[in-house]
Structure 1
C-alpha cells in the first residue's frame, strides 16, 4: 500500500479485509513497527461486569450446604434484591472460573423421556426410603408420596416396620387430607403388589384399597427406577439436605416431627426448578379443603370438592360366617387357599382370570362374573377363614350363590341320605364326551363345549341343559361311589318336566340313554 499498490489488490493477496489494512496503516504511521503487533480486543471498560462482592457471594452460596446449582443461586440472588441479578450462565461461569464445578462425563449417556400429568391429583408416586436413625440404634423408614404434577409431598410417614399395614395406614390418612387420586404409581415391592408372589399371585391390602376406591394402580417395570423418578429425586433431596446432617432422634415421634418440618419447608418455601422456580404448594389443588398454614381453609379450589370414602384395614369376620374374596387363577390352574389346607384345581383355560371365592366351613364356591365355576367341600378351619381375610382381603359374604356341597366325613366321603338326589356340573368336551367318576360318557356332539348338569336320582341319571331335560339313562356310577364324585351337591331344584325337542339342535333322549347305558 505504501509502495502504491491498490488497497483491494493487497487485501486479496494476503487474505485480509480492506478495513483491517486501513487500520494497520494508521497505526504504523502513528507508532511505527510496534503498531503492527496484535492487541487485546477486550473493551476498555465493562459497565455491566459482575462486581467482586457479587462473585464472592456466589461462591459462598455454592460452598454452604445445601450445594445449590447455578439456576438456584441465580434465583436466590434475585430474591435477595441484587440488581441486576446475574443469569444462570453468568453464575455457571463464575463457579467454573473458581473451580467449584466438577465436570463429570457420563460413561453411558442415556436419553430419558420426561413426562408429567396435566393436573394435580391425577397421579401420586409412592415409595419407601430409609436412613431415619433413632437413639436406640434402630433405623426407621419413611413412607413417601408425591403428586406428579405439582411435586407436592402428600405422604411422609415415619414407620418402624415397613409392613403392608403401615404403608396402607399412611396412604389412607393422606387420602383423608387431600382426597382420592385418580392413579397411583409404585414399584413392585411386596407392600404394594402381590403380582409376583409365589407360588401364586395374590391381592395385597394396598391393591384392595386402590380397587375399592376406584384408583388405577400402575407398576413400574422391574429394574426401571427412572419410572418413579420424581419420588426418587425427593428421596435424594431429603437425604442430602436433612437426613445426612441430623443426629439420631430420641423417639419415633421426634423423627416424625423433624420429617414434618422438612416436608413443610419443601412444599411451602423451597422453589422447585422443574416448576420454573415455583413452590409446590402454588400448583397443588387437592380434592378436599386442606389447611396449608395457620389460616382457616378457603374454598378457592379449581376442582369441585369430592366426598372421600377411604377403605380401611379389614376387620376379621365373626367366627362361623362365610367370606368372599377375589383370587387370580395361576398358569397351573391350582389354587391354594388358607395355609395350604384347601387346594382346588381350575381349568387352565381360566388362567389369569380373577374368580370370586365364597367360602365357609362347609363349601367353597368359585364364581366367574357371577356364574358358578365349581363347588368343592370345605376343609377350611376358623383360622383359615381369618387367614383369607388377612391375605386376600376377604369380606363378609352375602347369600349362598349355589347349593352347598355334600357334607363329608373325616376320610373325605360324602354323607348321603337314603334316596337323596345329587347334582354335579360337568363340561362336555369337543368330541361330545364328559368325564364322571373316572369314566368317560358320550352325551352328543350338539352339547360340545357346554356345561351340563347331571342329576343322579335313584337308579337314573338325568342330563339338564338350559333348564331343559336333555335325556335320561341308567345311573353310570354305583351307589357306594356317589359320595366320591368331585363337586357333587345336594339337589334343591325339581327335575325339569319339559324335555328338549329331538332334532339337529339337541340330542334326543334315545342318544342319552344309549350313551350312559
Structure 2
C-alpha cells in the first residue's frame, strides 16, 4: 500500500471532521500532536470560512504602534532628497527644529533612509566611541591653520585658500583666497583675523614653509609667521611629519568646503568673486549650519561666550604687535571738518609703498597719508550681474538692481552705497587703501566727499534696517544668531527692519513679506553689521496671500487674528487660506469651501503650517 503524505490543510480538515463526528478534543489533539486550543481554533475557522479557513494565515501584527508615522517618514525622505548630504544626525536635528512630534530616533531615521533606497547600508568600521577626541576647553585657546587648493578660476589658474578654525568652537576665523600662498600673505590673513577676534594663546599648523623654517636647512632662520607668533606671545605648535590627523578639525573644514561649495560650483570669474563666495560660505558655516561634533550647535554659539573661569574676554586680548612690513593703515575716525583732500601723489614718487597684490590685500606700509582722513564719492551704474567692482573690492548689489544709478561713499574704513535720492542701500567694511583712493581721484572717476561724516545708527534711533541673504534653510544671521524667516524665502536678498520688538522682513519695494519677534533688544540691533537708520514702515501686500492652516478638532482655525469655522468634517486637515484686504477664502484640495469677510487688520506672520503635520488627513 503506497503511503500518501497529507497536506497541512488536509490534516486539519480530518481533525475537524473527527471532532464534529463526536470525538473528544483531547484525544484528537493527542493524535495530531497539537494543543487543544489549536483544535478548537481549527473547528471555529472551518465553521466560519469552510475549507479555505483552514489555510495558513499571516502571523504579522495588524497594527504597529511603534512604527514611524507615514507623514514623518515622507518628511524625512523629502528632506534627504532636497539635501543629499544630510545624514541621520542632521535630519534628526532638522526634525526637532521643525517641532515634529513624536521625534524618531537616529536609528529609526537610518532605517527609513535604507528602506526607501536613499542610502546604502554599510558595515561600520569603528564605533564613534572608539575614537579619542581632544579639544581645548574654551575658545581663543588654540587656532588650527592650513592652506587648501582646488579653487579654479575662469582663466584656468588655481587659487589657494588660507584657512583657520578655532579648536574649541570650530568657528572659521580665517578664509582668505590668494593666487600664491606666500609667507607674507599668510601672515597678512593671520593678522587680519587677530585684529577681528583677538590674539589666540596657541596656533597649530603643519610643517609648511610658510609656517616654519625648521626644515629649511642648517642656515634657515625664523620665518615671518614664527616671528609674528613670538612677538605676540603665541605658542606655535607643529604636527609631526606625515600626520594630518593632528590637524583634523581644519582638514574636516576643508572637506566641507569641497563638498558644499566647490563640488558643484563653476570656476570663479575672478579672485574677488571667489573671495565673496568663500566669505558667504564661512558666514553660513559659522552662524547657520549645525555642527555634529558640537551636538548640532552653531560654531558662533560656542565662540562668542564668556570664559568659564570668570576672566573677562577684554583682559585676555593682548595688544597686537606686528612687524613694520605688516602694519596695516588704520584710518582714524572722520573729523567734523576734515582738511581738504590733497592732490594725489604721482605713482613715480610713491617709493615707500610696495606693489599692490592682485587681490585687495591689506597695504603693507609704515606711513599714514593725509588722504586716510578723507573720503571720496564715486558715481556708478549697477551692472547686469549685480556685482560691482570698485578699486578691486567686489560689491554685491543683486541683479534686481541692474541699471540703477548709485553713489559710493568710500574711505579707508567704510564703504556706503546710496541711491540718487539719498537712501542708503548698503554699508560694508572698506578694503581700499590710501593708494586706491588716490588712484580713483587721479583717474577722474571720483571726487572729494562732503565734509559731513556719514551718520551711523544711534542708540536713540527708534528702528534700524539691515540687508541679509536668506540661507537655503530659510534663516538669516543677526549677531551670530540664526533667525528663521521661512524656507519659502530661501536664496532671496531681503531687508529686515528691527525695532527691538518685531523684525519685519520686506523686499526691495518695501513690501512686507513676514513679521517675526525680534531676537535682539534695540541696543544690540544698532550695533549689527551694516545697520542703518530705518526708513518708512513696510507696506502690507496688496495682492492676496495664500497661507496654510490646520483645522482643530472642533472644526475651526485662526488666521490674521480672525476665527474661521469650517466644520468638524475638516478636522485635522491642512487647508489653503487666501487672504486679501476684504475677504478670506478657504480652499480644500483647490476647491473653495467658504468665503468670509475680513474683519481684522493684523499682519500675516506665518505662511506654512508646520505644527501637527503628522495628523494630516487626505480629504
Partner of 1:312: 322
Question: Are 1:162 and 2:181 an aligned pair?
Answer: yes
User: Do the aligned residues in 2 keep the contact of 1:126 with 1:143 (CA within 8 Å)?
Assistant: yes
CA shift digits 1:249-301 (9 cap, x unpaired) = 2322221111111111111111111111111111113799xxxxxxxxxxx99
8 A contact 2:113–2:119 mirrored in 1: yes
Contact kept? 2:231, 2:322, Cα under 8 Å? no
**Quick check: 1:65–1:241 contact (8 Å CA) kept in 2?**
no
Structure 1 Cα separation of the partners of residues 305 and 142 of structure 2? 12
Classify 1:312/1:44 alpha carbon distance in 2 versus 1 (closer, same or farther; 3 Å).
same
Alignment partner of 2:303: what SS? coil
1:94-493 maps to which residues of 2 (within 5 A)? Answer: 94-104=112-122, 112-285=131-304, 303-315=313-325
C-alpha RMSD of the superposition: 3.4
Which residue of 2 is the match for residue 485 of structure 1? none
For 2:162 and 2:84, locate their aligned partners in 1 and report how far apart those are by CA, in whole Å.
Answer: 23
How far apart are residue 221 of structure 1 and its match? 1.6
Q: Does 1:50 pair with 2:31?
A: no
**Corresponding residue for 1:30?**
44
- Indicate the residue corresponding to 1:416 in structure 2: none
Tell which deviates more after alignment, 105-114 or 302-311: 105-114
Q: Distance in 2 between matches of 1:141 and 1:241?
A: 17
Q: Which sits farther off after the overlay, 220-229 or 51-60?
A: 51-60
| Cα pair 2:205 2:239 within 8 Å, conserved | yes
Query: How far apart are the structure 2 equivalents of 1:160 and 1:119?
Result: 34
Q: For residue 394 of structure 2, what is the aligned residue in structure 1?
A: none
Residues 162 and 174 in structure 2, CA contact (< 8 A), matched pair in contact too: yes
Q: Please list the CA deviations of residues 427-482 of structure 1 after superposition, one character each: whole Å capped at 9, or x if unmatched.
A: xxxxxxxxxxxxxxxxxxxxxxxxxxxxxxxxxxxxxxxxxxxxxxxxxxxxxxxx
User: What do the CA deviations read for 1:80-137 (whole angstroms, capped 9, x no partner)?
Assistant: 3333233211110011112222244578999642111111111111111112222222
Question: Could you state the TM-score of these two structures normalised by the residue count of structure 1?
Answer: 0.51
Deviation at 1:38, TM superposition (A): 6.8
- 1:165 CA drift (Å): 0.7
Tell me: CA distance 1:185–1:52, structure 2 relative to 1, closer, same or farther (3 Å): same
SS at match of 1:44: coil
2:71 counterpart of 1:61: no
Post-superposition Cα deviations, 1:44-101, rounded to whole Å, max 9, x if no partner, equal 2235543444333322322334511011112212323333233211110011112222
Give yes or no for the alignment of 1:87 onto 2:105.
Answer: yes
Structure with greater Cα Rg = 1
8 A contact 1:287–1:305 mirrored in 2: no
Q: How far apart, in 1, do the equivalents of 2:87 and 2:277 lie?
A: 25
- Whether the aligned pair in 1 keeps the contact of 2:25 and 2:36 (CA below 8 Å) is no
| C-alpha separation in 1, matches of 2:84 and 2:175 | 21
Cα 1:276–1:29 change in 2 (3 A) is same
Distance 2:155 2:306 in 1: 40
Partner SS state of residue 246, structure 1: coil
Q: Distance in 1 between matches of 2:185 and 2:141?
A: 24
Q: Secondary structure at the match of 1:210?
A: helix
The residue matched to 2:263 in structure 1 has which SS?
helix
Worse overlay, 81-90 or 67-76: 81-90
Structure 2 gaps, min length 5:
1-23, 327-619
Distance, in Å, in 2 between the alignment partners of 1:200 and 1:36 is 95
C-alpha displacement of 1:211: 1.6
Residues 188 and 222 in structure 1, CA contact (< 8 A), matched pair in contact too: yes
**Equivalent residue of 1:283, what SS?**
helix
**CA separation in 1, counterparts of 2:244 and 2:69?**
43
> Distance in 2 between the 1:115 and 1:135 partners?
40
Gaps of 5+ in 1: 15-19, 289-299, 317-517
Following superposition, the deviation at residue 151 of structure 1 comes to 1.0
| CA distance in 1 between partners of 2:102 and 2:288 (Å) | 23
Q: Greater shift after overlay, 31-40 or 147-156?
A: 31-40
Distance in 2 between residues matched to 1:177 and 1:307, nearest whole Å: 11
Change in CA separation of 1:103 and 1:204 when aligned onto 2, cut-off 3 Å: farther
Aligned to 2:569: none
1:227 Cα offset (Å): 1.1
Distance 1:227 1:35, change over 3 A: farther
**Aligned partners of 2:68 and 2:317: how far apart in 1?**
56
Q: C-alpha separation between the residues in 1 aligned to 2:227 and 2:55?
A: 82
- 1:375-413 CA-to-partner distances (Å, cap 9, x unmatched) read xxxxxxxxxxxxxxxxxxxxxxxxxxxxxxxxxxxxxxx
CA distance in 2, matches of 1:115, 1:186: 16
CA distance in 2: counterparts of 1:24 and 1:304, whole angstroms: 81
Question: C-alpha separation between the residues in 2 aligned to 1:138 and 1:192?
Answer: 24
Checking the alignment, whether the CA contact within 8 Å between 1:124 and 1:148 is kept in structure 2 is yes
Query: For residues 261 and 159 of structure 2, what CA distance do their matches in structure 1 show?
Result: 15
The count of residues paired between Structure 1 and Structure 2 equals: 295
CA distance in 2, matches of 1:86, 1:72: 13
Cα distance, 1:254–1:286 mapped onto 2, change above 3 Å: farther
